[in-house]
Amino acid sequence: MKLSLYTLLLLFVSQTLIAQTAYEHNYDENKVPQFHLPDPLKTFEGKQIKTSQEWTNMRRPELYSFFEENVYGKVPGAIDDISFEVIEQGNNAINGKAIRKQVKVTLTKNKQSISYTILIYLPKNKTTAPIFMGPNFRGNHTVNADPNIIMTSAWVPNTKELGITDHKAQESSRGTRTNRWAIEKIIDGGFGLATIYYGEVDPDKDDFSDGLHSLFYSEGQLNPKPDEWGSISAWSFALSKALDYFETDSAIDAAKVVVFGHSRLGKTSLWAGASDQRFAGVIANDSGCGGAALSKRKYGETIAIINTAFPHWFSDNFNKYIENESALPVDQHELLALIAPRPLYIASAKEDRWADPKGEFLSTHFASPVYALFDKEGISTSKIPEVNQPIQNIVAYHIRTGKHDVTEYDWEQYIKWAKKHIE
């Protein structure tokens, strides 16, 4: 049978729609299932953890391994070589207040390599600065209108509003995400900002033939193994390697790097902070399912929905928990606990029901007993605060008005909190 192009298109669209709507989402609090939340202070074998030493030596390693093998996926070995090259520098950026540096990182494995560029702004009035470090969605050149930012040549998603139709970044997209990156406020607050375009590390599509993963394959291998890394783990790894660079640059206080991310990149910042304890603090903005939100609540996006829509983000093993959350011996509050005792900020937006603000908040509360072991103040209340009423302890949380986004308001809170707990 010969099918017309139109029929094929219809078939494709309907199949995609079926795939996307196969799993229902719930926005009704009354329909949240009853669930048992695992105790971060009890080992898988049932031993109660009573001291920070027991946490560090016994419980943390087993929890980390679980997330590594069953959720985000293991990094399959070390890289062979890493190199850094400062490819551009300017001393008069951000209204004359900042130094700009662009550093090319090259990771080599099995004689193949990938490169990505870190864009860095540092306050001029400091000899060494603490920084926020986070990946961006559409290329470094989108975070500010600064004409000196090198435009990415990597694959970018087609985006009509940005005039991108052939997966190539366009000059017209320069500065289009300025609203999400309050760089001047960050500089005025005494911090620097570093960002990378995540697509230079691994393009955000269900295709493992390219990006960082492909460097690690053995002969004939086409995909990571079931317990090996998905894209979130690869993006996190690249953030860690950027931290390797910061340790070589005296203008950056590498002991005070706060890893930041929004949405899928908030999931990424959490995993980066859990995996690399050199990060001094972690911020996850609207990170939702697979980020700060409790999976067992099944509110908004679920494990089934996320693994169907984005099969490349997590390890294949995570599929075992599709419509099977009760079998999960962990939940996302334990991912947050892996960041203890370091400062951690989780933020939600009122209208972002897809990310389950209440589930994101409850995670901070249920991770807090681990902070208490270290005498650090977490979040003791189990009642979500009112909108725009941040709680800013070592573990911090806010829910702001508005939708899924990163706003000026969010950055004002992060800067204030970081001044207290990081600087």
Residue 115 corresponds to which tokens in the numbers above? 């490169």
Which candidate, 387, 183, 155, 177, places its Cα nearest to that of 263?
Answer: 177
Find tokens 């997330």 and name the residue.
67
| Closest approach of ligand GCU to the CB of residue 265, in Å | 7
| Structural element, H or E, at residue 6 | helix 5-21
Within 55-153, residue ranges assigned H as helices are: 60-67
Closer residue to ligand GCU (CB): 134 or 192: 134
| Closest approach of ligand GCU to the CB of residue 314, in Å | 11
In the set 25, 167, 240, 404, the catalytic residue is: 404
Closer residue to ligand GCU (CB): 136 or 393: 136
| Closest approach of ligand GCU to the CB of residue 399, in Å | 16
| Structural element, H or E, at residue 8 | helix 5-21
Q: What share of the chain is helix, strand, coil (3-state, %, to 5)?
A: 35, 20, 45
Residue 269 corresponds to which tokens in the numbers above? 């910042």
| Closest approach of ligand GCU to the CB of residue 341, in Å | 27
For this structure, is 115 an active site residue? Answer: no
Give the CB-side neighbour count of residue 132, counting CA atoms within 13 A.
29
In the set 52, 173, 263, 269, the catalytic residue is: 263
| Closest approach of ligand GCU to the CB of residue 135, in Å | 11
Dist. CA 421–CA 423, nearest whole Å: 6
Closer residue to ligand GCU (CB): 99 or 143: 143
For this structure, is 263 an active site residue? Answer: yes
| Structural element, H or E, at residue 408 | helix 408-421
Within 215-292, residue ranges assigned H as helices are: 231-246, 264-275
Residue type, 12: F
Residue 32 corresponds to which tokens in the numbers above? 């949240």
Dist. CA 206–CA 155, nearest whole Å: 13
Residue 128 corresponds to which tokens in the numbers above? 């060494």
| Closest approach of ligand GCU to the CB of residue 286, in Å | 7
Q: Prior bond to 203 cis, omega within 30?
A: no
Task: Report whether 150 contacts 117 (CB < 8 A).
Answer: yes
Torsion, Cα of 67, 273, 83, 195 (10° steps): 120
Closer residue to ligand GCU (CB): 292 or 391: 292
Closer residue to ligand GCU (CB): 144 or 287: 287
Closer residue to ligand GCU (CB): 152 or 285: 285
Closer residue to ligand GCU (CB): 285 or 317: 285
Dist. CA 123–CA 193, nearest whole Å: 9
| Closest approach of ligand GCU to the CB of residue 294, in Å | 14
Closer residue to ligand GCU (CB): 54 or 405: 405
- Which residues in this chain contact ligand GCU in the complex, by CB under 6 A? 263-264, 288-289, 301, 306, 309, 354
| Closest approach of ligand GCU to the CB of residue 105, in Å | 23
The secondary structure of residue 300, as a DSSP letter, is B
Residue 160, Cβ density class (10 Å: 0-12 exposed, 13-18 middle, ≥19 buried) = exposed
> Which residues have a catalytic role annotated?
263, 404
